[in-house]
C-alpha cells in the first residue's frame, strides 16, 4: 500500500498548493486580464492561446471554455487558426517563461499589434518581457528552484513534490477555470447558455 500513500499525499499536497496559490495570486493582475478579455469580446477581436506540452493542453482547456462563453478564440497551431491581427489578444502560457517557441510567438504577435498576456511563474522571464500584461501563477517549474523566487518566497516550496512543471500546470488549469467563472458572472451567462455552444457531437 505504500505507493498508494504517495498517491494520496501528493494529491493532498497539490490541492494545498492550489489553495495557497488562490490566496497568493494578485487580484489586480487577474482583474486586468478579465478587462482585456472582455474588451476584446466587445470589439469582436480574436483571442489566440499558445503553450507547449502540458501548458499547451491547459491552454486548450481554457480555449474550449472561452468558446462556450461565445469568445472568438483560437489555439495557435490548430488547423483553422487564422492570422493574428492588430488588437487581437494572445495568451501565452509557460511556467518558466523561457519556452523558446512561446517567447517567439509572443514577440511576433507583439510586432503585429496584438496584445500579449503571459501566464507564468517568472515575472522577469523573456516571455514576461515580451508581454503587455503578466499574471503570475506560483508553481515550481522545470527550471531550477533557485530561480523560482515567487514559488520559494510566497509558497515555501523547497522540495520537489510533483515532477517537472506539474504544480504550475495543475494550478494553471484551476486558475483558468476560475477566470471562466468570473467571465460568466461579468457576461451574465449561465450553464445552459454554455451547453448551447458545447460540441454536441463528441469526437476525441
Q: x-or-dash pattern for a second copy, window 169-198, by CB under 8 A?
A: xx--xxx-xxxxxxxxxx----x--xxxxx
Distance of closest approach, residue 124 Cβ to a second copy, in angstroms = 20
Would residue 139 be called left, alpha or beta, if left means φ above 0 and alpha means ψ between -120 and 50 degrees?
left
User: Any bridge partners for residue 133, and if so which?
Assistant: 117
For the CB of residue 36, give the shortest distance to a second copy in the complex, in Å. 13
Cell of residue 39, nine digits = 474588451
Site string for a second copy, 44-73 (x = CB under 8 A): ------xxxxx-xxx-xx-xxxxxx----x
Spatial CB neighbours of 45, under 8 Å, sequence gap ≥ 6: 72, 85, 87, 88, 89
Which of residues 12, 39, 113, 149 is near a second copy by CB under 8 A? Answer: 12
Active site residue 13: no
Residues 6+ apart with CB under 8 A from 59: 49, 50, 51, 75, 91, 93
- The SS3 call for residue 204 is coil
Residue closer to a second copy by CB (options 43, 85) is 85
- Applying CB under 8 A, among 42, 82, 86, 146 the residue interacting with a second copy is 82
Chain positions 121 to 160 lying near a second copy, rule: CB under 8 A, are 142, 160
Which of 35, 146, 169, 191 does the annotation list as catalytic? Answer: 169
**Which of 78/124 has CB closer to a second copy?**
78
Provide, rounded to whole angstroms, the least separation between the CB of residue 60 and a second copy: 4
* Minimum distance of a second copy from residue 149's CB (angstroms): 20
Q: Is the dihedral of CA 181, 125, 58, 137 positive or negative?
A: negative
CB 83 within 8 A of CB 114: no
- Considering CB under 8 A, how many residues would be counted as binding a second copy? 94
Amino acid at each position: 500500500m505504500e505507493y498508494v500513500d504517495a498517491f494520496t499525499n501528493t494529491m493532498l499536497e497539490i490541492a494545498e498548493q492550489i489553495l495557497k496559490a488562490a490566496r497568493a495570486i494578485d487580484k489586480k493582475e487577474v482583474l486586468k486580464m478579465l478587462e482585456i478579455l472582455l474588451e476584446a469580446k466587445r470589439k469582436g477581436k480574436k483571442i489566440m492561446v499558445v503553450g507547449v506540452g502540458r501548458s499547451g493542453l491547459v491552454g486548450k482547456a481554457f480555449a474550449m471554455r472561452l468558446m462556450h462563453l461565445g469568445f472568438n478564440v483560437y489555439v495557435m497551431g490548430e488547423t483553422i487558426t487564422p492570422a493574428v491581427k492588430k488588437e487581437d489578444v494572445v495568451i501565452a502560457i509557460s511556467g518558466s517563461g523561457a519556452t523558446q517557441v512561446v517567447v517567439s510567438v509572443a514577440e511576433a504577435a507583439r510586432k503585429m499589434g496584438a496584445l500579449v498576456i503571459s501566464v507564468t511563474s517568472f515575472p522577469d522571464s523573456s516571455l514576461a518581457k515580451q508581454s503587455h500584461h503578466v499574471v503570475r501563477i506560483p508553481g515550481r517549474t522545470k527550471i531550477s528552484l533557485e530561480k523560482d523566487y515567487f514559488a520559494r518566497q510566497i509558497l515555501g516550496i523547497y522540495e520537489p513534490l510533483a515532477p517537472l512543471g506539474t504544480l504550475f500546470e495543475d494550478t494553471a488549469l484551476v486558475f483558468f477555470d476560475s477566470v471562466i467563472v468570473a467571465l460568466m458572472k461579468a457576461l451574465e451567462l449561465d450553464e445552459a447558455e454554455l451547453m448551447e455552444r458545447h460540441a454536441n457531437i463528441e469526437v476525441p
